[in-house]
Structure 1
């Protein structure tokens, strides 16, 4: 390695400040950007990175880990005993079986595929189970292996171009469901295979709604990979928006909803960049699309609806690190009930992030309790929730520390 090469925090025993600097630079962030995200001055961050100031306390370490999206806390601290996966949940017991179904390609043509209507009904039931089950990964993890194999068989046996397009649409939808199962589990390569295969199958289907859903999920995969992938996320989102735009005047509810969901995703990524005006501008466009939908409508995959826009506003405010605004938006969002259990739990986690930013850790923990009640498997796999809980487990206030410890046991971060 050249003498002037950037050191590798995963290979060399670096001090804490050096690790912060290396991980920050790998995320493509300036000192000013990271300092702003964690609430300290650039001068203070510079002293931490240069070793002129001792490593900060756990609460600041957790904020730095969240801002840099450090997946393993030990990568930031350099201490093996702090090995904690923050943004990757534990591997689900059914992950290996789902992975095997995705990775296996059967070339023989003697396997009889199911009727199209039968596979459609099973997929509909799987999405329903995903939204209604508290442990939604378990629910869909049972169904996915057979769904994947049957959808692939349906494509192989398609006799006409029309049949093949219909089969590819069902295969794309199966991969979309798979991505919800795989997200935040310890197999990033599998997530990418599913996201990309879903996009290819959607394009082969030629169905605008299917293409919109696949683009929505592929853009999320890019965005969640870090700041260096934000441009790729935006490119996919914008291409999908342009593709759907001519169809919107006569669009049905599902097509209008996926277009609205794509608009919000552009705002989400802008908020991650801390681009306030662009973020809220896209939220406004998505909100206008939601207003065109029936009041009781929910998109069957994304949950996009009039009711979800309040939750989306909380997310934008949180990503912009506007603590007070996120709390205000949370109060408005609670006027609506989100039908999907995992989406409701995700909203509670975003609310908890807002309360934590606003200096209300007790309310944040209470809100995470609500998230656990809605969907335990959502909070168990969510890095933001895990980071808040771990931070408060070290609180100097005994009651808060006890409450955080009890929640950590329920979530699986601490042994009972």
Structure 2
């Protein structure tokens, strides 16, 4: 009987080009799209996939891995000596405890049931701790197990419909906090479980802010799954914006902020598609939303604010592969206005991507050093940063190789 199953790219022996084609097909990406994102021609990519030309050098392999969101470099190369996680970071030591709390269903736990107001106070403290910590997963790993169980208990123990809705809103936010911990760790099914439970709890709460936040995180999860999921990400974003629109005339700042954050997410996805005008059009809408907020306002979950729009502009330019524009936006942005250490580190990484695109690798490495100073854990889990560092360890310049190697040791890509 003929076997029509898709070949396993990780079964030996499979040539590099075959692996590229199989992984591209699994992402639902056409050859012209992948070639365009790599800055190469479809005919060049066809020759790579057919084995008609030599395997590209490491910088191009890393770019292919970045675009295809390959988890482990060895999955692409077939060389187990290159077993390096790119877009999935190392499993945190506290991941098992958080996973156990998420998977548990506390039906007969003998512990006091907290009120929704009590959970709100704990959540506020947890978000503050996340933004001020250089290693936010370490902090969240301590807080989340009890928060998750207590929020589940609060929903079960609610005496009235109003109390239950308030508890569901708090539970949804606990799942949002959990998603920041789980993201880029080696358990993608857990990430989706958290995102889906957060959305269900948000719907049950009937709270516009909770629904907006859950949609924001769900759209990100779809977009990060690859181009084949971009349409779903857009559908989630646009539906959430349509839902929030009637609330905006009298909405509190947090609802205005989540609306602006969703508008930027639509622009982010458009930039990933290479849709220049659409991406900047959504950025303009988000910028107008930010200007309606107080100058010092900073949304604790999405980081949406006036201060973040400069960083968002850098991200749009980088995703559009516009190196010069990325650098211009980096110069215009005010990184010192970003109060969150992990968000500042992410902005520095986006700046480094821009400098790399603009053929300024020395500045890119220096900017990644700044990201490491702001939040070491953020750069350790960021695939783009890891790709740039690995690429520069192969640079012709001895000084760049040395600086990249030193940073690779700090990040955990190379042994000391």
TM class, shorter-length: over 0.9
The answer to whether the aligner puts 1:337 opposite 2:337 as a matched pair is: yes
Matched, 1:399 2:402: no
Is residue 28 of structure 1 aligned with residue 28 of structure 2?
yes
User: CA-to-partner distance for each residue in 1:100-120, whole Å, 9 max, x for gaps?
Assistant: 111011112754202333221
Q: Aligned partners of 2:134, 2:192: CA distance in 1, in Å?
A: 26
For residue 85 of structure 1, what is the aligned residue in structure 2? Answer: 85
TM-score using structure 2 length: 0.97
Distance 1:332 1:188 in 2: 36
Number of aligned residue pairs = 416
1:64: Cα distance to partner? 1.0
Query: Which residues of 2 match residues 125-136 of structure 1 at below 5 A?
Result: 125-136=125-136
1:17 corresponds to: 17
Deviations 1:229-254 (A, max 9, x none): 11111111111100001111111111
Kept in 2: contact 1:109–1:156 (CA 8 A) = no
Deviation at 1:11, TM superposition (A): 2.1
Structure 1: gaps (5+ residues):
none
Query: How far apart in 2 are the matches of 1:2 and 1:363?
Result: 54
Quote the residue 2:351 is aligned against: 351
- Counterpart mapping for 1:3-402 below 5 A: 6-108=6-108, 110-334=110-334, 337-402=337-402
With the length of structure 1 as denominator, give the TM-score of the two structures: 0.97
Structure 2: gaps of 5 or more residues: none
| CA 1:5–1:152: 2 relative to 1, 3 Å | closer
2:63 counterpart SS class: helix
User: Quick one: distance in 2 between partners of 1:24 and 1:3?
Assistant: 20
What is the alpha-carbon distance in structure 2 between the residues aligned to residue 155 and residue 109 of structure 1?
14
- Mapped contact 1:148–1:175 kept (Cα < 8 A): yes
Cα distance in structure 2, aligned partners of 1:296 and 1:115: 30
Compute the displacement of 1:49 (Å). 1.5
* Change in CA separation of 1:69 and 1:271 when aligned onto 2, cut-off 3 Å: same
- Matched residues in 2 for 1:5 and 1:94: separation? 37
Q: Residues of 1 paired with 2:66 and 2:375: CA distance? A: 22
Within 2, Cα distance between the matches of 1:18 and 1:115? 56
Once the two structures are TM-superposed, the CA of residue 334 in structure 1 deviates from its matched residue by 3.0
CA apart distance, 1:359: 1.0
Question: Residue 414 of structure 2 aligns to a residue in which SS?
Answer: coil
Q: Distance in 1 between matches of 2:219 and 2:4?
A: 35
What is the rounded CA distance, in whole Å, between the counterparts of 2:341 and 2:24 in structure 1? 35
1:307 positional shift: 1.0
CA contact (8 A) 2:314 2:326 kept: yes
